Amino acid sequence: MADSKPLCSRDGDPMAAEALLRDVFGIIVDEVIRKGTSASEKVCEWKEPEELKQLLDLELRNQGEASEQILARCRAVIRYSVKTCHPRFFNQLFSGWDPHALAGRIVTESLNTSQYTYEIAPVFVLMEEEVLKKLRALVGWSSGDGVFCPGGSISNMYAVNLARYQRYPDCKQRGLRALPPLALFTSKECHYSIKKGAAFLGLGTDSVRIVKTDERGKMIPEDLERQIGLAEAEAAWGGSVLLSQTHRHLLDGIQRADSVAWNPHKLLTAGLQCSALLLRDTSNLLRRCHGSQASYLFQQDKFYDVALDTGDKVVQCGRRVDCLKLWLMWKAQGGQGLERRVDQAFALAWYLVEELKKREGFELVMEPEFVNVCFWFVPPSLRGRQKCPDYSERLAKVAPVLKERMVKAGSMMIGYQPHGTRGNFFRMVVANPALTRADMDFLLNELERLGQDL
């Protein structure tokens, strides 16, 4: 029954494989690490979808391609991708990069293992434990549990599922129908993952009760008390402020939460994804809530302590290693270096606010407390016309036009959004540790340049 083809040679040529990887690495250094972080290069090279499809030749065919062609493909992928490490990429919370975190990510990819048992991930099981312990200590907990999740939204779902199980352990077996109606209290300004999670977990979006917020989006405690609810996880973006002695007061009280979702892939530039769910619980809640004791992975007759097999704490089966990038960066920077970055992000955000106030045509949505700076650019034709009836409507159309212009020029990227009754405003995120005051000045100058005819 065995195939008659010769099966004595290894698949592919190891020397060729090594050469290919060296070439690809060289391309990454040139095109991403050097050019991609250079302010004199474009942050993106906009193409319309149909044109980009042509340029990329995406179709998967039956015939394989030679190395030269594959290298050309890598160059094209990089060329037309947005450079999120570029000093003018202000568009997302994960802008910027860290060489040690990237090193950790590349090592992780090359080792290609799953985080579920000590057997196949001895280093990473121990490392995750240590990293989570450190993050918990920063929250203010001397014990507890936790796990890295595929993103903050899933972390939030985990937290809701654990709260539900903690109060009603029957839920795991008997489902929501066996329970009284549940409500999920959250801030009016909560992340949209709360509603997504409520639907996914079978609670339904109607179960989400909105607690009123003040103008900064903070829950009004009296309103919450009126509604009384469960302790909700903090927003995952702000966690890294805990590293700063100067600014950690912004999260005063976080140690009273039962769970905290923290995304070091944002302000700490650990790289996507690095999202920790931290729990104060010491009763093995994660394992009790999610465990299913699959016998082929989590044998109980192993020759080591099976408590080290973390796989049954999660609802996934295989789970990526997300701790090494953060660990290696922390080892290299020290808590000190990371603190300096957080402080610098604050200092730059404040610098931006001061500069913005000096210029005509820029208007803050509100004074920032964190490193997000929300503002309108009011173009020349709208200045002084705040009282006109169509002012808001016209102002709301400015940001999309400027966004299109900056993207097509490739000069910078910054997000915009409407919010409640407020029309589109820019949402500047100061996260990239490579940013300087010159980049803040550039941002303002470039908006003025792009919007001078509006």
Q: From the list 341, 362, 414, 426, which residue makes contact with its own copies (rule: CB under 8 A)?
A: 341
Q: From the list 103, 250, 306, 364, which residue makes contact with its own copies (rule: CB under 8 A)?
A: 103
Binding mask 63-82 for its own copies (x = CB under 8 A): xxx-x-xx--xx--xx-xxx
Q: Which is nearer to its own copies, 264 or 387 (CB)?
A: 264
CA angle 398, 402, 406 (to 5 degrees): 175
Q: Which is nearer to its own copies, 66 or 228 (CB)?
A: 66
Contacts of 62 (CB under 8 A, 6+ apart): none
Minimum distance from CB of 342 to its own copies (Å)? 12
Q: Which is nearer to its own copies, 240 or 273 (CB)?
A: 273
Identity at 167, one-letter amino acid code:
R
> Using CA atoms, how far apart are residues 161 and 382, in angstroms rounded to an integer?
49
Residue for token digits 């993050």? 135
* 251-290 binders of its own copies (CB under 8 A): 265, 271-273, 289-290
At residue 252, the 3 state secondary structure works out as coil
Q: Which is nearer to its own copies, 256 or 408 (CB)?
A: 408
> Using CA atoms, how far apart are residues 102 and 271, in angstroms rounded to an integer?
7
Instruction: Assess 292 for contact with its own copies (CB under 8 A).
Output: yes
Containing 145, the helix (H) or strand (E) segment is strand 145-149
Contacts of 74 (CB under 8 A, 6+ apart): 24, 27
Which pair of tokens denotes residue 159? Answer: 């937290």
Partners of residue 373 on adjacent β-strands: 428
> Using CA atoms, how far apart are residues 33 and 160, in angstroms rounded to an integer?
39
Q: From the list 153, 186, 310, 411, which residue makes contact with its own copies (rule: CB under 8 A)?
A: 153
Minimum distance from CB of 228 to its own copies (Å)? 20
> Using CA atoms, how far apart are residues 77 and 107, in angstroms rounded to an integer?
22
Contact 427, 374 (CB under 8 A): yes
Beta strands in 249-379 (DSSP E): 259-262, 275-279, 362-364, 372-377
Binding mask 214-243 for its own copies (x = CB under 8 A): ------------------------------
Minimum distance from CB of 222 to its own copies (Å)? 27
* 360-419 binders of its own copies (CB under 8 A): 397, 400, 403-404, 407, 413, 415-419
Nearest Cα neighbor of 297 from 307, 311, 286 is 311
Instruction: Assess 40 for contact with its own copies (CB under 8 A).
Output: no
Please give the full DSSP string across 336-363, using - where no structure is assigned.
HHHHHHHHHHHHHHHHHHHHHHHSTTEE
Q: From the list 109, 222, 393, 441, which residue makes contact with its own copies (rule: CB under 8 A)?
A: 109
Q: From the list 167, 302, 383, 385, which residue makes contact with its own copies (rule: CB under 8 A)?
A: 302
Per-residue CA distances from 11 to 16, 17, 63, 180, 441 (Å): 11, 10, 17, 58, 54
Minimum distance from CB of 59 to its own copies (Å)? 7
Minimum distance from CB of 56 to its own copies (Å)? 7
Instruction: Assess 168 for contact with its own copies (CB under 8 A).
Output: no
DSSP secondary-structure letter at 316?
S
Q: From the list 68, 305, 390, 453, which residue makes contact with its own copies (rule: CB under 8 A)?
A: 305
Q: From the list 68, 354, 390, 453, which residue makes contact with its own copies (rule: CB under 8 A)?
A: 354
Minimum distance from CB of 252 to its own copies (Å)? 20
Q: Which is nearer to its own copies, 62 or 228 (CB)?
A: 62
Q: Which is nearer to its own copies, 10 or 387 (CB)?
A: 10
Minimum distance from CB of 229 to its own copies (Å)? 16
Which pair of tokens denotes residue 148? Answer: 């890295």
Characterize the bridge pairing of strands 208-211 and 184-187: parallel
List, in sequence order, the alpha helices (H) in 147-213: 152-167, 170-174, 193-200
Q: From the list 223, 351, 363, 365, which residue makes contact with its own copies (rule: CB under 8 A)?
A: 351
Minimum distance from CB of 221 to its own copies (Å)? 25
Instruction: Assess 337 for contact with its own copies (CB under 8 A).
Output: yes
Stretch that binds its own copies, among 1-9, 223-231, 251-259, 375-383 (CB under 8 A): 1-9
* 185-214 binders of its own copies (CB under 8 A): 191-193, 195-207
Identity at 289, one-letter amino acid code:
C
Nearest Cα neighbor of 128 from 279, 309, 327 is 327
* 111-150 binders of its own copies (CB under 8 A): 111-114, 118-124, 126-127, 130-131, 134, 150
Nearest Cα neighbor of 185 from 142, 232, 233, 252 is 232
* 81-100 binders of its own copies (CB under 8 A): 81-85, 87, 91-92, 94, 97, 99-100
Q: Which is nearer to its own copies, 315 or 364 (CB)?
A: 315
